[in-house]
Amino acid sequence: MGLELFNTFILLLLVVAAIVALRVKDLLTASVVFGVYSFLMCLLWAEMGAVDVAFTEATVGAGISTVVMIATIFNLKRKSSD
């Protein structure tokens, strides 16, 4: 029961993070929220027992790709046009 509740909570947060990442105008905010999304996925995978996948998601998804996206955004206009 506790695990079920934890899963539901993470999945709800995941949906919220996905919607926020699409809706915000500021690209820097969007990429940070993407990092949050990746980390929630990592938690979900770790809880399912797929620790290798969770580890990759934590390093690549939440770590490097957020840094690379932020590094790129500093060379762009910050606002998304739509």
Partner 1 sequence: MKKISLIPVLLVGALLVYAAQDFPEWGSPNSPASQSPVSSHFIANTGVDTEVPNMVTAVLADYRGFDTMFETVVVFIAGMAVLAILKNSSKKKAGSKEFEVDVEPDLIVTNTVRLLIPVIQIFAFYVLAHGHVSPGGGFQGGVVMGASFILIALSWDLDTALARFPADRCTLVAGLGIVLYAGIGLLSMFLGGEFLDYAELAQIFPVSREMARYHAMLGVEIGVGLTVTAIMFSLYANLSTEGRLKGGL
Q: Half-sphere exposure of 50 toward its Cβ, with a 13 Å CA cutoff?
A: 11
**59 makes contact with partner 1 (CB under 8 A):** yes
Q: How far is the CB of 60 from partner 1 (least distance, A)?
A: 6
Among 8, 68, 78, 80, contact with partner 1 (rule: CB under 8 A) = 68
Sequential DSSP letters for 3-48 = HHHHHHHHHHHHHHHHHHHHH-SBHHHHHHHHHHHHHHHHHHHHHH
8 touches partner 1 (CB under 8 A): no
Q: Does 19 bind partner 1 (CB under 8 A)?
A: no
In angstroms, give the least distance from the CB of 14 to partner 1: 14
